[in-house]
Amino acid sequence: MSAVVVVLLLAGLSESAGRILPLIARRPGVSRAHAVRLLLTGAVVEFVVFALWPWAAGVLAELQSPRTEAAPGWTPALAAPLLLAAIVAFPLLGPLLHTLLIVAVGANLTGSLATATGLGWWSAAGCVAVAGLGLGAAVGGVRWLVVRISALQAVPA
């Protein structure tokens, strides 16, 4: 397993912990096994989102300018700041800090994308932003769907 995969897996676990642990703390009846399953499932989902972000931005860059090279991937240095996600993703501690962290990571990714594809920095920033927002919206939709399904299952018939 490469260092990038390990960093992205840990970043996914970190992001998942920042989102799941406050929910679990508010629901004292949640079993430990259920909490661990939620945490690990969230970690895998966040890992996939993080891993797809450069690829999705590269696809958008290619749509903008078909002569571009392949999109850059993650490097350990680019992905390492994502490990802070557990600290800053807690809903009450820092939604603004979490957003600033993602913007900073996106700016670093933008520089790599602009260099690799030959697009201008602002065009590459648009590709990275649209890719990030699209992936975030997709995950938000899945979260909403899971909550709705869970709520339906919890209602007694």
Query: How much is the average pLDDT of 86-111?
Result: 72
Q: Determine the pLDDT at residue 39.
A: 83
Q: Determine the pLDDT at residue 32.
A: 78
- pLDDT greater at residue 143 or residue 153: 143
User: Three-class SS of residue 123?
Assistant: helix
Distance CA 32, CA 114 (A): 45
Give the domain ranges of the chain.
Answer: 3-154
Return phi, psi of residue 112, to 5°.
-65, -40
- pLDDT tens digits, one per residue of 10-48: 888 877 777 777 777 777 777 778 778 888 888 888 889
Question: How much is the mean pLDDT over the chain?
Answer: 79
Strands (E), the chain: none
pLDDT at 98 over 90: no
pTM of the model: 0.78
Q: What is the dihedral of CA 18, 20, 22, 27, to 10 degrees?
A: -170
